[in-house]
Amino acid sequence: MVSGIGVSIPGFRVSVLRVLGGQNGERRRTRGRTTLTGLYQLPPGERVKVSRIEFGQPIGAKAGVLASYVGIVARNATRLPINHESWRQMPNSNKNQAVDLVKNNVNHEEKLQNVPPEMHTNQWEDAVRFWSSTKGEARERIGVASRQQQKFTHTAGSKNFARVAEEHEVTSGGNVGRIKLFDITHTKKDGSPITLEAAEIMDKLRDKKAEYEVTVSSHGSINDQELENQVITEVLGPERYGRVRFQGSFVSPTKYFGSSSSQYMPSQSNSSQLEVKRLKQEMDEKISQLQAEAATREALYKAREDAYEEKYQDLQNQLQAIKKMIQDNPLQNPPS
């Protein structure tokens, strides 16, 4: 019979010793799997510190913990299935999951040792613990996702938008509005837009502004700043809370628009209308996709039906040919 008992070994190493029955009935103990129970009982955010030399090899007492944990991960058939002939055939997704699993439980000591200049050690240690915690990793994922949604950046560098506008006004002698400032801060040195998305926005803003100017000239008057505000809102939608497009940091809607800021901000009714519009657009796109898929399936069915009909007709023709051949050349009875 096989049974097991847990035996603690200094550090985090925990081995399960198996008691086996020998041939003559004697009890024989053999080393079982390493489970590292202590590693999984660490407080949230705490990591095992593993030192390493300049070439990346782990050293010290905790190096064995890292090696044992990697062994546990390697034996996990769900994460790293063994039905691959070589490690190169293992899917990268499985490899990345295994690496992330190790990173989440064992952290190199060098991250804590590499304290940035002018940073207090205790503050740096707290920061490292936070960003290694579940809450910190969740916040990092949000930041990464937000960054990925950004279609393009600007070309102003370390200059704020107010400084860029002021310098351009000094050299050109003219006022720099929001639309012009967008063009300046989203154009390369060779005069081309930084991205296709930026170029598309530039074209839409110019076209809409020209359209507004024609309307204003025939129906009344409006100052250029208010005209540009309406153009930007119509092309790009309402402003976000606490920010004004193409104005940089520290410029709030209330500061920029004054008492008329509400007309450039999303209201509850506008938000509901935008949500309904978005859902309707998604539904229309889904319907179009389903219709396209249905049309494709119908075309395939029609092609198969035509092919079967053609084969059936060929068989009918062959059968008729055989019948005619038999009729034209009847079999004669052998002479008696």
User: Would you say 235 and 201 are in contact if contact means Cβ atoms under 8 Å apart?
Assistant: yes
User: Would you say 53 and 59 are in contact if contact means Cβ atoms under 8 Å apart?
Assistant: yes
pLDDT higher than 70, residue 333: no
pTM for this prediction: 0.43
What is the reported pLDDT for 274? 61
What is the reported pLDDT for 192? 92
Sheet order of strands, 27-34 included: 3-8, 14-21, 27-34
* Surface-to-core class of residue 310, CB atoms within 10 Å of its CB (0-12 exposed, 13-18 middle, 19+ buried): exposed
* Surface-to-core class of residue 319, CB atoms within 10 Å of its CB (0-12 exposed, 13-18 middle, 19+ buried): exposed
The 10s digit of each residue's pLDDT in 269-293 is: 555 666 677 778 888 888 888 888 8
Max CA separation in the chain (angstroms): 125
pLDDT tier at 56, thresholds 50, 70, 90: low
What is the reported pLDDT for 202? 92
Average pLDDT of the segment spanning 207-236: 80
pLDDT higher than 50, residue 305: yes
The 10s digit of each residue's pLDDT in 233-247 is: 888 888 777 778 888
Average pLDDT of the segment spanning 293-302: 82
Q: In this predicted structure, which of 1-15, 42-56, 107-121, 229-243 has the lowest mean pLDDT? A: 1-15
- CA–CA separation, 109 and 303 (whole Å): 66
pLDDT higher than 50, residue 12: no
The 10s digit of each residue's pLDDT in 85-135 is: 788 888 888 888 887 777 665 554 556 667 778 788 888 888 877 877 778
The 10s digit of each residue's pLDDT in 66-92 is: 788 788 878 877 888 888 878 888 888
pLDDT higher than 60, residue 267: no
Average pLDDT of the segment spanning 204-230: 80
More confident residue, 227 or 270: 227
User: Would you say 180 and 188 are in contact if contact means Cβ atoms under 8 Å apart?
Assistant: no
More confident residue, 251 or 7: 251
What is the reported pLDDT for 203? 92
CA end-to-end distance (rounded Å), the chain: 89
Average pLDDT of the segment spanning 188-199: 90
User: Would you say 161 and 185 are in contact if contact means Cβ atoms under 8 Å apart?
Assistant: yes
What percent of the chain stands above pLDDT 90? 5
Mean pLDDT of the chain: 76
